[in-house]
Amino acid sequence: MQKITILKPDDWHLHVRTGRELKSVIGMSAAQMGRGVIMPNLNPPITNSTQALKYREEIINSLPNGSEFNPLMVLYLTDNTTAKDIEDASKHTHIRAAKLYPAGATTNSDSGVTNVNNIYPALEMMQKVGMLLLVHGEVTHADVDIFDREAVFIKDVLGGLINKFPELKVVFEHVTTKDACDFVVSSSNNVAATITPHHLLANRNDMLAGGIRPHYYCLPVLKRSKPHQSALLGAATSGSPKFFLGTDSAPHLKEYKESSCGCAGVLNAHCAIELYATAFESAGALDRLEGFASKFGPDFYSMPRNQDTTTLQRKEWTVPDSYPCGKSSIVPFMAGEVLRWKVV
Ligand code: NCD
Ligand code: ZN
């Protein structure tokens, strides 16, 4: 196949930051995606409607001229989020979801939830008003191995939460294990998951064999090829509407990644749909890319699918070594490597 045309995709999990970083990266998503679900883990986090709408304004004002990109906003749940915060947010069509970050799980999650019991009133209200719960699914206890944190979260937290709120729509974000894929498949239709391109294309060897590659470091951390990476590829290409596109594109300046304590997050927005096409092609499933990228996400969010289309062409190109950001730069996923698909 030399060309593939699909309905325009959306990104259901995206970090765009603020200020100069926002200006450096937002055009990448706007060039490919119709909508983006914008993660609220700023410092300080986006915890109420006023902050969310102000942040949305900043994003819109940073878009390249003529762009039609639609940022969908998310509240950051804390131990102090009230049912009223949720009810207020639900009145704004641009605010679609709230995000559960277990405290300390990832970048800027210090204000996250210390015990899910603390957010039961908020979850109750979300279930009532139909607001989606987005979950960073990892426990944070020091005694749980970092490669096991997702599986333990399912057992210790997520299973119980879903039983308690069966009507709540839950997106298990950036799943990285076979355990998570199996869990989503066996749960009700109110439970779905996003999968990133880097977890489809890379595993922990890419990050750790022959040297530490900090630009592959993200959370949840890359797992083993078998059974985990292959389970993700299987889930994404299965045609199940429970799995859809969420890049978790999460830019950090080069000096914060290439450091004695490098931070977690991978920029992939520069070629997200090309990366997904590469992964789907490797599984012989390019015909299933459109469902994953452009249909199942809006269906789960009860929003209309995009109407315009995107065409990818078979064409070799080399990913830039870095993108400028102020006086610094951001090193993208697959920097310097050749990809074989390009958006026309
Ligand atoms: C994200 C970030 O940098 O904000 N990092 C990451 O490794 N994915 C946070 C997150 O989604 O966990
Ligand atoms: Zn994320």
pTM higher than 0.95: yes
- Antiparallel, parallel or unpaired: β 95-100 and 132-135: parallel
The residue whose CA has the least distance to atom 5 of ligand 1 is: 265
Crossing angle (nearest 10°) for helices 83-90 and 120-129: 20
Q: Which atom of ligand 1 sits closest to the CA of residue 265? A: 7
| Structure token digits, residue 181 | 């894929």
The residue whose CA has the least distance to atom 3 of ligand 1 is: 265
- List ligand 1's pocket residues with C-beta within 6 A: 15, 41, 106-107, 136, 218-219, 248, 250, 264-265
Cα 204 to middle of ligand 2, angstroms: 18
How many percent of the chain have pLDDT more than 90? Answer: 97
pLDDT tens per residue across span 3-27: 999 999 999 999 999 999 999 999 9
pLDDT tens per residue across span 152-180: 999 999 999 999 999 999 999 999 999 99
| Structure token digits, residue 16 | 């765009």
Helix (H) or strand (E) holding 192: strand 191-195
Cα 69 to middle of ligand 1, angstroms: 22
The percent of the chain in helix, strand and coil, each rounded to the nearest 5, is 40, 20, 40
Nearest listed ligand to the Cα of residue 265: 1
Once rounded to an integer, what is the mean pLDDT over residues 186-206?
A: 98
Once rounded to an integer, what is the mean pLDDT over residues 316-328?
A: 98
275 CB neighbour count, 10 Å cutoff: 24
H-only helix segments in 229-271: 230-236, 254-257
Q: Which atom of ligand 1 sits closest to the CA of residue 174? A: 11
Band (pLDDT 50/70/90 cuts) for residue 105 is confident
Residue 106 has pLDDT above 90, yes or no: no
- Antiparallel, parallel or unpaired: β 323-325 and 328-330: antiparallel
Q: Degrees (nearest 5) of the Cα angle 107, 244, 160?
A: 65
Once rounded to an integer, what is the mean pLDDT over residues 234-242?
A: 98
Cα 219 to middle of ligand 2, angstroms: 8
Mutation test residue for ligand 1: of 38, 39, 101, 107, the one with most atoms within 8 Å of CB: 107
Helix (H, G, I), strand (E, B) or coil at 328: strand
Please give the pLDDT value at position 161: 97
Which residue in the list 88, 248, 299, 321 is annotated as catalytic? 248
pLDDT tens per residue across span 274-320: 999 999 999 999 999 999 999 999 999 999 999 999 999 999 999 99
Please give the pLDDT value at position 64: 97
* Contacting residues for 208 by C-beta, under 8 A, at least 6 apart: none
Cα 77 to middle of ligand 2, angstroms: 14
Helix (H, G, I), strand (E, B) or coil at 312: strand
Q: Which atom of ligand 1 sits closest to the CA of residue 105? A: 12
The residue whose CA has the least distance to atom 11 of ligand 1 is: 248
Cα 314 to middle of ligand 1, angstroms: 31
pLDDT tens per residue across span 141-151: 999 999 999 99
Residue 239 has pLDDT above 90, yes or no: yes
The residue whose CA has the least distance to atom 1 of ligand 1 is: 265
Q: Could you confirm whether 248 is annotated as catalytic?
A: yes
Residue 198 has pLDDT above 90, yes or no: yes
